[in-house]
Structure 1
Amino acid sequence: MADSTRAGDGAPTLHDVAAAAGVSFSTVSNVIRNHPHVREATRKRVLDAIAAVGYRPNLVARNLRSGRSGVIGLAVPELNQSYFAQLADDVIRAAGAEGYVVLVEQTGGRRERERELLRDPRLALTDGTLISPLGLTRDDAKDIALGRPVVVLGQPLLDEADHLTMQHEAAARAATTHLIEGGRNRIVLLGAHPAEQGTTASLRRDGYRAALEAAGLATPDELVVPIEVWDRHHGAAAMWELLRSGTVFDAVFAMNDDLALGAMRALHERGVHMPADVAVIGFDDIDEGRYSYPSLSTVDPGRRQIAELAVAMLLERIMGTTDAAPGRMVAPDFRIVVRESSTT
């Protein structure tokens, strides 16, 4: 009823829209609800009237009637990392298209913070949560009772949740193969986490090794460079150390684009030409890579598709429009984006 009566501040109502469009109140209501059995000419007239009178729906009242808040949560490690900032943008756009607002939280990739967010009573203010965990493990997840829809952006973790992940190993293998096919045979892996198994870093490392083995190439230890934090500062610092060590290499596969951009800065400063002396490829296809010099070759892991599917899967759970059991796993296709840093 709140949408159909004039608010105390004189805000336009659906009755005003109906009068302006010359249609009934029920017709306006059908257009608002995107009812399929409305003629396109009528729909256009109503939408034009909505714009003309400046009508805005009372979302609070609507959500109270539906029992939902109209808000979903998004928990990411760091918004100062380009991938997660752009992922958040994609999620906000996808959710907004469905009439949902996104509450964004940063975890710092800390295990305890991720556990806290999944247990936090404040989540009762949201209808569901998307989370991209770095520190949380399957053992940690065993004692977490979700109580609301959750979609994990990452590897299998929570039995009660759906998961959207990347084809880490296959994509890393394709990226390394691209370098090999360009004639490179001393390829640095930048950003390894040696002790980890079953994580993003370990899966990308496995793909790198599989490509080298398939080509009959060795994987010398000095070419596998550990970096704990995948940002530009650490990428540049690691590359400077590698150059100072005198290690011979002719290509770099960086675990993400931020590492690659940092490494490229160090190579520039040392006077190393790319791709003539060293070819570079990253992972994530962040926007900055298109405008670096040279422009950065990379793996597009399907970030926009991941965001759109994650929102769609979460809303299916929120609205109860799917009969699928929890635990769905989806991994969108990837593609190799070839730019100036890896090919002449």
Structure 2
Amino acid sequence: MSASLKDVARLAGVSIKTVSNVVNGYAYVSPQTREKVEQALAQLDYRPNLTARNLRRGRTGIIALALPELDAPYFAELSRFVIDAAAERGWTVLIDQTDGLLERERQVLQGIREHLIDGLIFSPLAVGEEDLTARTDRTPMVLLGERVMDGPADHVAIDNLAAARDVTAHLIGLGHTRIAAIGAQNRPTAGTAHLRLAGYRQALEAAGLPYDERLVASTESYHRRDGAEAMHRLLSLPEPPQAVFCFNDLLALGALRAMLSSDVRVPEDIALAGFDDIEDARYSTPTLTTVSPDKVQIARAAVDLLDQRIKGTAAGSPASPREVTVDHALSIRESTAGR
């Protein structure tokens, strides 16, 4: 059987309250006493009973993470970082996949098994501000992504407008004037696509380059197949692009395959850049230049905000949502810079 606080207290020669103070990190314990207790904890291999602790606090120690696609590398990597940040607080993470479908996202908002979770981190694609406003479930929630901005919940995102502008400016800086974009979407719910297209257009305008709709390839989704199909369309133009900005790395990897199968050299004939900096981007041939969002910072910011809401220590009321914009960088690799 695992050791109890009483066992540790007996071995250390202190009170149970003193052991509890050490375990919970209270500062007002003398260094000598703390050392004795820590030695006893190590000797008995003490493990705190998180279930009992959470029950006393009226919590389960479980949070939910709801994402559109678990097999998309970006969301898989982000999940890992959320789980790591949650584990530091002794939390378990339940993961749900919504497929970006309106009905499934509304089900998430209505509550994931009442009283099962303490909080929710949610990356929506379909629901809007009106759905969030109509939410009756009072489980603390933090939103990720760009679908709902300035909504009635804490929100963590990167500056997609600036990031898309940065990567397009990089392509312009290499001397390219015919720069294509892959990943535009006309749906009103495609907030990420709209922002990245706007950033692309801003960079062209700042450089005095025209916006050519023929160089903007729309896609139904953001998978490799979509990128390959869009790239084939661009290659069939009378005057193909000199460079291509794809709105995520999977599109870029699909585009890369389409170019290589058409005997197009990258970057000698056409330069290529993506977005998300998934692990595959560092191992493709050539390696992929891409926008690198700080996924660790996204995960930690979301977990921190949720922790504050759960504890009731957040600055402001639930009617005063907080907006956190995390950092991004441009990882320049062989697909634009060459070997």
TM (norm. structure 2) is 0.92
The aligned amino acid for 1:341 is S
Classify 1:23/1:341 alpha carbon distance in 2 versus 1 (closer, same or farther; 3 Å): farther
Classify 1:317/1:245 alpha carbon distance in 2 versus 1 (closer, same or farther; 3 Å): same
Rounded Cα–Cα distance in structure 1 between residues aligned with 2:282 and 2:326: 22
Deviation at 1:41, TM superposition (A): 6.8
Rounded Cα–Cα distance in structure 1 between residues aligned with 2:34 and 2:276: 40
Deviation at 1:157, TM superposition (A): 5.0
Classify 1:195/1:148 alpha carbon distance in 2 versus 1 (closer, same or farther; 3 Å): closer
Correspondence for 1:126: 117
1:228-276 CA deviation, whole Å, 9 max, x = no partner? 2101122122223332445511111110111111211222222222111
Q: Equivalent residue of 1:335, what SS?
A: strand
Correspondence for 1:216: 208
1:110-164 CA deviation, whole Å, 9 max, x = no partner? 1110011110351431111010000112233332223121111023357431111
The aligned amino acid for 1:342 is T
Classify 1:291/1:43 alpha carbon distance in 2 versus 1 (closer, same or farther; 3 Å): farther
Rounded Cα–Cα distance in structure 2 between residues aligned with 1:39 and 1:125: 39
Deviation at 1:334, TM superposition (A): 1.6
Correspondence for 1:341: 335
Correspondence for 1:304: 296
The answer to whether the Cα contact below 8 Å between 2:286 and 2:334 also exists between their aligned partners in 1 is: yes
Deviation at 1:40, TM superposition (A): 5.9
Deviation at 1:223, TM superposition (A): 0.8
The aligned amino acid for 1:305 is Q
Deviation at 1:180, TM superposition (A): 0.3
What does residue range 100-249 of structure 1 map to in structure 2 within 5 Å? 100-120=91-111, 122-155=113-146, 156=148, 159-196=151-188, 199-249=191-241
Deviation at 1:295, TM superposition (A): 1.3
The aligned amino acid for 1:107 is T
Quick one: percent identity of the two aligned structures?
Answer: 46
Deviation at 1:335, TM superposition (A): 1.3
TM (norm. structure 1) is 0.90
Greater CA drift, 274-283 or 196-205: 196-205
The answer to whether the Cα contact below 8 Å between 2:159 and 2:325 also exists between their aligned partners in 1 is: yes
Classify 1:232/1:198 alpha carbon distance in 2 versus 1 (closer, same or farther; 3 Å): closer
The aligned amino acid for 2:164 is A
RMSD, aligned CA: 2.1
Correspondence for 2:323: 329
Correspondence for 1:287: 279
1:162-210 CA deviation, whole Å, 9 max, x = no partner? 1111101111001100000011111110110134377111011000001
Matched residues, number: 335
What does residue range 19-168 of structure 1 map to in structure 2 within 5 Å? 19-21=10-12, 23-38=14-29, 43=34, 46-47=37-38, 49-120=40-111, 122-155=113-146, 156=148, 159-168=151-160
Rounded Cα–Cα distance in structure 2 between residues aligned with 1:81 and 1:97: 25
Give unmatched runs, 5+ long, in structure 1.
1-9
The answer to whether the Cα contact below 8 Å between 2:204 and 2:210 also exists between their aligned partners in 1 is: yes
Deviation at 1:287, TM superposition (A): 1.6
Deviation at 1:220, TM superposition (A): 1.4
Deviation at 1:211, TM superposition (A): 0.4
Greater CA drift, 65-74 or 149-158: 149-158
The aligned amino acid for 1:102 is V
Rounded Cα–Cα distance in structure 2 between residues aligned with 1:198 and 1:274: 29
Give unmatched runs, 5+ long, in structure 2.
none
The answer to whether the Cα contact below 8 Å between 1:73 and 1:130 also exists between their aligned partners in 2 is: yes
Rounded Cα–Cα distance in structure 2 between residues aligned with 1:97 and 1:305: 15
Rounded Cα–Cα distance in structure 2 between residues aligned with 1:250 and 1:46: 67
Greater CA drift, 254-263 or 21-30: 21-30
Classify 1:340/1:143 alpha carbon distance in 2 versus 1 (closer, same or farther; 3 Å): same
The answer to whether the Cα contact below 8 Å between 1:73 and 1:123 also exists between their aligned partners in 2 is: no
